Amino acid sequence: MQQRQLGPFQVSAIGLGCMNICHAYGTPVSEADAEKLLLAALDAGVTHFDTAALYGFGVSETLVGKYLSPHRSQFTLASKCGMQGVDLNGDGKLVRVIDGRPEVLRATCEAALKRLNTDVIDLYYLHRWDKQVPVEESVGGLGDLVQAGKIRAVGLSEVSAATLRKAHAEHPIAAVQTEYSLWTRNPEIAVLQACQALGVALVAFSPVARGFLCGAMDVSALEANDIRRSMPRFTAENHATNARLLPGYFAIANEVGCTPAQLAIAWLLHRGDHVLPIPGTRSVTHLQEDLGAADVKLSADVMGRLDALINQQTVRGSRYNAQANSEVDTEVFAA
């Protein structure tokens, strides 16, 4: 597979996001199926695996550690801290908490190293900037983990260009991870350009628009614990409006000779050499389909038609609800 730069690391141009195997999109897959997926990705040439303490409250890290640690030298391991499950009431029920204090990040890292069954995490992101803690303080704490040999590089997630620059002045930032796809263009306001100027990789999660760009979807059939149920773009009304964009999109995919998912990922790969998509999936078949996007070539004409068809003006609904929007630091388009 093609290679791209992820901070100090050379990795596969397309990585694997490891949230879906245990978190967010309804009933998780079995452990056996998670094992098959992780090993299939490694066998297919994926060398960039991305997980987090939040995903399944440690379950994703545990699965990655259990099944990939025997092959640790073959891939770059990324995980995240600063947003995890905490037993606030002492009743064993974990609650999602954002906490960027350096001492909390250190403790989260130690727990992650054990779950991941490794001595060092290659790239460790601040999953969310805790706005009660100066970003320089949190990033300084992560820099201390670099000095201690616990992690090799520092990343940020869902931050603005201004926050990136402040953090980068405190400690070199290797990557910014943020949602980026045809229907989520927020990085194009400033972060995409800031990353390129600073030599920072932009790791694009949800590159197929949380499944929207893969094919027809029945939002009424989403499971009760599927996070898309809380996302405005997936309400029945907004989804029906957005779905009108799909016939034209599918026609372009057919013209190019690829699947809709491959078209979405290929579009990202063409946005810049510093852009690294990390699609997530629970299916080996879908994994293989996603990875095929690396071989899809898009002309300037096709890129322009895609940009005109699906963008911040043609998509209806915010990407997050009010609570989630308050927790991120990304720039937003003017209403």
Measure the CA–CA gap between 172 and 184, rounded to whole angstroms. 26
At 108 the pLDDT is 97
pLDDT, tens digit (0-9, with 9 covering 90-100), for 164-191? 999 999 999 999 999 999 999 999 999 9
Instruction: Identify the band that residue 15 occupies on the pLDDT scale cut at 50, 70 and 90.
Output: very high
Confidence check: pLDDT of 79 > 90: yes
pTM attached to this predicted model: 0.97
Instruction: Identify the band that residue 237 occupies on the pLDDT scale cut at 50, 70 and 90.
Output: very high
Positions annotated as catalytic residues are: 55
Which residues face 176 on adjacent strands? 156, 202
Hey, what are 60's tokens? 């994703």
Domain ranges of the chain: 3-211+271-294
Measure the CA–CA gap between 274 and 191, rounded to whole angstroms. 12
Confidence check: pLDDT of 273 > 90: yes
Confidence check: pLDDT of 90 > 90: no
For residue 324, give every residue at least 6 positions away whose Cβ sits within 8 Å of its Cβ, in sequence order, or none: 230
Average pLDDT of the residues in 238-245: 97
Pairing of strands 201-205, 275-277: parallel
Instruction: Identify the band that residue 92 occupies on the pLDDT scale cut at 50, 70 and 90.
Output: confident
- Domain topology for 3-211+271-294: TIM Barrel (3.20.20)
